[in-house]
C-alpha cells in the first residue's frame, strides 16, 4: 500500500469522508462550519486583481521584448 500523502489524501474514501463531514457541519447551522467569510472573499478579489495586473504588465513587457528580436 502506498504511503505517499498525496495518494492517501486523494483516495475516494478520504475525499468522501471529508465532504460528508463538511456537509454535516453546514447542515447543523454552525457559523464556524467553513462558509466563506467576507474577509476570504476580499482576499480572493485582491489576489485575482493582482494576478490580472501582473498578466497585463508582463504582457506589455513581453511585447516590448518581442520587438527587439530580429526576424
Residue 24 vs residue 67, higher pLDDT: 67
Q: How many Cβ atoms are within 10 Å of 2's Cβ, its own excluded?
A: 8
According to the model, what pLDDT value does residue 3 have?
A: 63
Q: Read off the pLDDT of each residue in 22-32 and give the average, rounded to a whole number.
A: 68
Can you read off the three cell numbers belonging to residue 4? 505517499
Residue 63 in this model has a pLDDT that exceeds 70: yes
According to the model, what pLDDT value does residue 56 have?
A: 94
According to the model, what pLDDT value does residue 10 have?
A: 60
According to the model, what pLDDT value does residue 47 have?
A: 97
Residue 54 vs residue 3, higher pLDDT: 54
Q: For 44-48, which contacts have Cβ atoms below 8 Å and span 24 or more sequence positions?
A: none
Amino acid at each position: 500500500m502506498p504511503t505517499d500523502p498525496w495518494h492517501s489524501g486523494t483516495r475516494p474514501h478520504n475525499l468522501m469522508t471529508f465532504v460528508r463531514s463538511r456537509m454535516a457541519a453546514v447542515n447543523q447551522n454552525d457559523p464556524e462550519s467553513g462558509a466563506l467569510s467576507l474577509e476570504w472573499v476580499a482576499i480572493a478579489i485582491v489576489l485575482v486583481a493582482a494576478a490580472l495586473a501582473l498578466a497585463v504588465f508582463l504582457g506589455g513587457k513581453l511585447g516590448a521584448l518581442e520587438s527587439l528580436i530580429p526576424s
